[in-house]
Copies of this chain bind each other. A is one copy, B any other.
């Protein structure tokens, strides 16, 4: 009898699961429950409160798409703030850009980072890079008090429940806006448009009240609910498609598995129901 992990999606009364070879790590931090599973077909899997945060098999989709889209729009992304993202995957992708001089990571739960450094170093080891500063504290307070300025802010958060809840408010977006340079860009993971339409409508409405330019883009992440995932791109100046830096993309010549220049522009062309969701927000 195999061991099975099952993630429930109560909003749609559905579930996704897979067979587990063994449990590598399981602990409760002051904030949440953290597990690392070993599987034969998805590699190692990080769970927070029984929700899949990443699997080795498809994490490249999420991390490439949350990082390279804004970093290939901004002409000179020197300073980056990552909210959440304690697994280090987004850091790994950002550091592929030589323009990046400093990354501040604000992760509430140090145990996430410790577990990932131990069990998924291929994903996480760039956390130790000299260009990275880790702040293990509440991002809601960090953005309220900080006086730093960033070209890019990436909200690489969990779902808007428990510790993630404060990262989906107008006040939080306003404080992020304050930390952006006048040509800054904010990108946030924004959940599934097909299974969580109300969530994405709320995110669109709040971002539109703070930023002059808000666009959504999509990616296929099989181990997230519905597999149909979205990201919000909010900017004070740049358009995600017309300001795409094709020359820098070509010169940098990264070896990536999902993101590419044609996809960069294509991914902002949304299915009609998704367009209608955000346009009526």
Contacts and interface: CB of A to CB of B under 8 A. Distances in A.
Given A61-B271, A272-B256, A226 B218 contact: no
A269 interface: yes
Interface in A49-77: 57-58, 61
A265 to B, nearest CB: 8
A15 B17 contact: yes
Given A41-B14, A266-B267, A273-B258, A195 B222 contact: yes
Interface residues of A, number: 43
B13 A39 contact: yes
A194 interface: yes
Contacts of A257: 271-273
A40 B16 contact: no
Nearest to A264: B269
B258 A263 contact: no
A260 B2 CA distance: 44
A14 B13 contact: no
A142 interface: no
Interface in A10-63: 11-19, 39-42, 57-58, 61
Contacts of A259: 271-272
A2 to B, nearest CB: 8
Nearest to A270: B263
B18 A18 contact: no
Interface in A228-262: 228, 256-260, 262
A92 to B, nearest CB: 17
B58 A194 contact: yes
A269 B160 CA distance: 31
Contacts of A4: 15
Nearest to A261: B269
A41 B197 CA distance: 14
Given A14-B18, A14-B41, A17-B17, 14 more contacts: A13-B19, A13-B40, A14-B17, A15-B17, A16-B17, A194-B222, A195-B222, A220-B220, A220-B227, A220-B228, A222-B226, A259-B272, A262-B269, A263-B269
12 contacts: A2-B13, A13-B40, A13-B41, A220-B228, A222-B228, A227-B227, A257-B273, A258-B271, A259-B272, A263-B269, A265-B266, A266-B268
